[in-house]
Structure 1
Amino acid sequence: MDFGLDEKTALVTGAGGRIGSVDCEILAAEGAEVIALDIDTDAARTVVDDIEDAGGTARTLECDLTDRDEVAETISAVDEDAGGIDVLINNAGLVDARDKVEDFDDEIWDRDVAVNLTGTYNVTRAVYPGMKERGWGRIVTVSSVAGWHGGFGQASYAATKSALIGFGKTLALEGAQHGITSNVVAPSIVVGALADLPLDQLEQVDEHFARIAEATPMRRLGREEDVANLIAYLCSEQADYVTGQVVGVTGGVDLFSF
């Protein structure tokens, strides 16, 4: 299916990560010019090289999303050079914090709020006016199943990912009259090729992964492509009547079952 992304410019934050890199590859395969934004430029450069080797168009962009002035200057330069950003994938985020609330590190909390939530706000606020002026835009924000249901030992992650759901829905309300859609995807855990392992083999690799897979109705964990393919659709012309939605990519793990 042609998603109508030819001649569109797509900015992906956290582009060097596992989900972000596949987002970039699939959007480029659909014809978009991809801007791979990451504070880790080496990781982003690897993604861009792979896209270019496959015949796509992409470039790297270094920016600290927590620095509001830097974000504004960077997006302004991109707008001038590329003629505007049509698609924004808010993918950047940190997920490494593990501790119960009473033991949680205040600095880690502040860091995660700054990156996961405020960083997303900063880049969206910089990109949004151009979309509004052109009368077309696609914003997809990556939340998590933890944003719906919480996550034991993940206070900062779950809280920021939950806040992104409210943020994405607000963008949908504000952008609806201006040709801008905003949707949120909420993946469960994604583990690449490990998703193809039978449960007994997965347990030998990681018992935690195996427990989650066993609790998932589809009896497997997610792949990055499961998330990225949905994101590409939400960015398409065909999805122009889809906005304000939170779509789980979970294999059904969030369903109530006996």
Structure 2
Amino acid sequence: MDFGLDDKTALVTGAGGRIGSVDCEVLAAEGTDVVALDVDIDAAETVADDIEDAGGTARALECDLTDRDAVAETVSAIDEDVGGIDVLINNAGMVDARDRVEDFDDDVWDRDVAVNLTGTYNVTRAVYPGMKEREWGRIINMSSVAGWQGGFGQASYSATKSALIGFGKTLALEGAQHGITSNVVAPSIVVGALADLPIDQLEGVDEHFARIAKATPMRRLGREEDVANLIAYLCSEQAEYITGQVVGVTGGVDLFSF
């Protein structure tokens, strides 16, 4: 299926990470000109180089999403270079906090709000006017199953991922009459090649992963491609009537079962 993305430019934040890098690769394979944005320029450059080696088009840029002026300058430079950003994948985020609320580190809370939520706002606010002017745009916010179900020991992560759902739906309402769709992708845990391991073997690698796999109706954890393929579709011409939706990539782990 031709997703109609050959003449589009996609900006992916947190592009150097596991999910972000595969998002970049899949979008590049669909013909988009990919801008891999990350605070870690070396990681972003690795992603861009791999895409170029595979015959795609990509460039790497360094930017701290918590620096609003730097974000605005970066987006302006991209606009001047390629004529505008058509697809925005708000993938960047922190997920390393593990403490109960009474023991939670205030600095970690502030950091996660700044990166996961305000960083997403900063880049979206910079990109959105161009989409509105061109009357075409696709925005994807990366939430999590923790964003609608909570996460034990993940106060800052689950709170910010929940906020991204509200933000994404607001963007859908405001962009609907301007050719802009906004959707939210909410994965469960994504573990790369470990998803291919049978549960008994996974137990020997990580008991926590194995416990989640057992609770998942599909009896496996997620792969980065599971997320990236959905994102590519939601960015396509075929998905032009889909907006304001939260789509889980969970293997059914969020379903009630006995």
TM bracket, shorter-chain basis: over 0.9
1:15-60 CA-partner distances (Å, limit 9, x unpaired): 0000000000000000000000000011111111110111000000
Q: Which residue of 2 aligns with 1:143?
A: 143
Structure 2 counterparts to residues 1-258 of structure 1, below 5 A: 1-258=1-258
Q: TM-score, normalised by structure 2?
A: 1.00
RMSD after superposition: 0.4
Give the Cα separation in 1 of the matches to 2:50 and 2:73: 28
**Runs of 4+ with >6 A deviation:** none
Give the Cα separation in 1 of the matches to 2:118 and 2:105: 19
Give the Cα separation in 2 of the matches to 1:53 and 1:238: 29
Cα distance, 1:175 vs structure 2: 0.1
Cα distance, 1:225 vs structure 2: 0.1
Cα distance, 1:230 vs structure 2: 0.1
Give the Cα separation in 1 of the matches to 2:58 and 2:74: 16
Cα distance, 1:196 vs structure 2: 0.4
SS of structure 1 residue aligned to 2:16: coil
SS of structure 2 residue aligned to 1:251: coil
1:249 partner amino acid:
V
Q: Which runs of 5+ in 1 are unaligned?
A: none
Give the Cα separation in 1 of the matches to 2:176 and 2:163: 20
Q: Which runs of 5+ in 2 are unaligned?
A: none
Give the Cα separation in 1 of the matches to 2:215 and 2:207: 12
Cα distance, 1:68 vs structure 2: 0.5
| Larger CA deviation: 43-52 vs 216-225 | 43-52
Cα distance, 1:232 vs structure 2: 0.3
2:171 partner amino acid:
L
Q: TM-score, normalised by structure 1?
A: 1.00
SS of structure 1 residue aligned to 2:34: strand
Cα distance, 1:7 vs structure 2: 1.3
1:145-178 CA-partner distances (Å, limit 9, x unpaired): 0001000000000000000000000000000000
Give the Cα separation in 2 of the matches to 1:71 and 1:49: 23
Give the Cα separation in 2 of the matches to 1:82 and 1:65: 20
1:151 partner amino acid:
G
Give the Cα separation in 2 of the matches to 1:127 and 1:53: 28
Cα distance, 1:11 vs structure 2: 0.1
SS of structure 2 residue aligned to 1:169: helix
Give the Cα separation in 2 of the matches to 1:74 and 1:41: 14
**Corresponding pairs, count:** 258
